[in-house]
Amino acid sequence: MTQYKIKTAIIDLYNNERNEGMRCIKEIISDSNKRFENATIYYDVFDARYRGEIPDLSYDIYISSGGPGNPFDGEGTKWEADYFNLLDKIQENNQNHANKKKHIFFICHSFQLMSRYFKFAEVTTRPTRSFGILPIERTEAGALDPILKQLHNPFYAADFRQYQVVNPDFNRLRELNASILSMEILPENEKITPALMAVRISNEIVGTQFHPEADPESMMYHFKQPERKLQVTERYGEAMYDEMLSHIEHPDKIKLTRQTVLPGFLDNAIQSLILR
């Protein structure tokens, strides 16, 4: 049996801030090894914002993490120029049908950079901070998409952000042949524009505003912080906070999202690389 080596680059955008996202991403990649007898999946970590580390084009799969702060704070910096240059190279590679395709997944902060790069929607400050385990609506395209079709509608995911991707440019989406896979569900009393929560550019390129990597351990880390509890209770109320706590261990809430979205992306990428 042929043994394949799959190289994965994790692009760390946490800017040296303590987080649970990187642990979760590493665990999901390591777990993918258990599902493929004829493939070994390796990963390297590149600290993009803090150390200016950007991977080259030698990797098969790229996962670009969430991170704190303003998605425009990298403008004019070398790391952001290098990051977008990598995306240029991935696009150029994938548009040549003779080449082995490169796969990339964008998470939260990276999803906002993805929107800036592809110009399919506006990236703006959110009127109120979103934090918690929240319901998300699949679109018709999302119901058929390989990374979301096994989820319920609505499904639940971890959502932490002060910024948002809104007002999609449908002409640009058609030009890219891209699809909106999911949308924010707003409380009835919030009269703001719902945000895009997942977009697929191609078979190889997809991103989510929510955190598909989040697990119960990472969510308990967040919910135990007094300032996080205050954010939820001030916006949604104590009852909603208690309901979110119950979602942490519920098998059909973030556990299902964790088991489905990013593992599904990896499985599809690895299978296409092996079968090529």
Tokens linked to 243:
């309901």
Helix (H, G, I), strand (E, B) or coil at 244: helix
Q: How many residues does the chain have?
A: 276
| Res 11: pLDDT | 98
Q: How far apart are CA 270 and CA 103, in angstroms?
A: 9
From the options 3.40.630.30, 3.40.50.880, 3.20.20.70, 3.40.50.970, give the CATH code of 4-214+254-275: 3.40.50.880
Distance in angstroms (rounded) separating the CA atoms of residues 229 and 245: 10
Please provide residue 32's backbone torsions phi and psi, each rounded to the nearest 5 degrees: -65, -25
Q: What are the Cα distances from residue 189, in Å, to 61, 138, 143?
A: 41, 21, 27
- Predicted pLDDT of residue 244: 79
| Sheet arrangement for strand 122-138 | 39-47, 4-12, 61-64, 103-107, 205-208, 196-200, 179-184, 122-138, 155-166
pLDDT digits over 125-153, tens only?
998 888 888 999 999 999 999 999 999 99
Sequence-ordered list of residues with C-beta below 8 angstroms from that of 132, at least 6 positions apart, any chain = 158, 159, 232, 236, 240, 244
| pLDDT number for residue 237 | 78
The neighbour count for residue 170, using CB atoms within 10 Å, is: 11
162-202 confidence digits (pLDDT tens):
999 999 999 999 999 999 999 999 877 777 889 999 999 99
94 CA to centre of own chain: 20
The structure tokens listed for 84 are 């977008």
Query: Phi and psi of 159, rounded to 5°?
Result: -135, 110
pLDDT beneath 50, residues of the chain: none
